Amino acid sequence: MEKITILIIDNQQYYRAGVRQSLSKQPDMNIIDIDLSRDPLDLVDKIVPDVVLLGSDLGPHYDPITLSKRIVRYYRNTKVIILTPNPNNEVLFEIIKNSAVACLPRNVDSSELIHTIQRASHGEYPINDSVVSEPRLAQRLLKQFHHISGSRNGSEKILTPLTPREKQILTYVAKGNKNRRIADVLGLDEQTIKCHVSSILRKLHANHRAHAVAMAIRDGLVTAEDLKPTTGQRNKG
């Protein structure tokens, strides 16, 4: 059995021990934990873990968002899950921008933590469940994106514009619809929708659907009006 290598980074020894204990009975997990007495990126570089569990107590020299951004930037195959005492909208906003795959409460129960790790290691983005599937949350995040939209450098704009069909599909994605549901609504093949979504991610330089929605809101491709559920809308897969 190929094991999932998990690196726990947090400054509190007892917290790391508790997380380790929660995962210790999983035969498919190899668990390593460190404090901040050494540069965590050095260890990430040496072992290249499948998943990093990034705690909120990182001492005076690090913060979870910045460290997550550096890990995701340099180690594309390592998935970052942030554990925070208060995973509110502002935290989710920052996490989406920096491409961590999930945000969980610091006191998350072991079953949810294990399930999230397993999903992340299989290439899923559990943060989609928190953001894309809840249009009202996306609407609340919209205001925060407006604060930075005016300060964006022109070079940061997407180089290849979205096609009308891609914009249409992106709007459905922003409302929490999965590919099969979008295909049913538009009368297209599900594989065609999948190809369009892949193109959208590539053009927006996004790593997953929630990230794409965030970038689209930031760039004005999706508005608050677009995020309002249509009459009778159901977010089915």
pTM for the complete prediction?
A: 0.63
The predicted structure's pLDDT at residue 92: 74
Three-state secondary structure readout of 94-141 = HHHHHCCCEEEECCCCHHHHHHHHHHHHCCCCCHHHHHCCCHHHHHHH
- CATH-assigned architecture of domain 4-129: 3-Layer(aba) Sandwich (3.40)
Which regions of the chain carry the CATH code 3.40.50.2300?
4-129
Helix (H, G, I), strand (E, B) or coil at 237: coil
CATH topology of domain 135-218: Arc Repressor Mutant, subunit A (1.10.10)
Identify the bridge partners of residue 81 per DSSP, sorted by sequence position: 53, 102
The predicted structure's pLDDT at residue 233: 45
Which regions of the chain carry the CATH code 1.10.10.10?
135-218
Query: Do 141 and 224 contact (CB within 8 A), yes or no?
Result: no
DSSP assignment of 68-81:
HHHHHHH-TT-EEE
Mean local confidence (pLDDT), 171-190: 88
The answer to which of 86-90, 102-106, 179-183, 197-201 has the lowest mean pLDDT is 86-90
Q: What is the pLDDT of residues 53-112, one digit of tens each?
A: 998 888 777 888 888 888 888 887 899 999 988 776 667 777 776 678 888 989 999 999
Q: From CA 203, how far away is CA 17, in angstroms rounded?
A: 42
Tell me the average pLDDT of the chain. Answer: 79
Match 């995040």 to its residue by tokens: 141
- Whether residue 38 has pLDDT greater than 60: yes
Element containing residue 64 per DSSP (H, E):
helix 64-74
Closest by alpha carbon to 60, among 86, 24, 91, 36?
36
pLDDT tier, 138 (very low <50, low <70, confident <90, very high otherwise): low
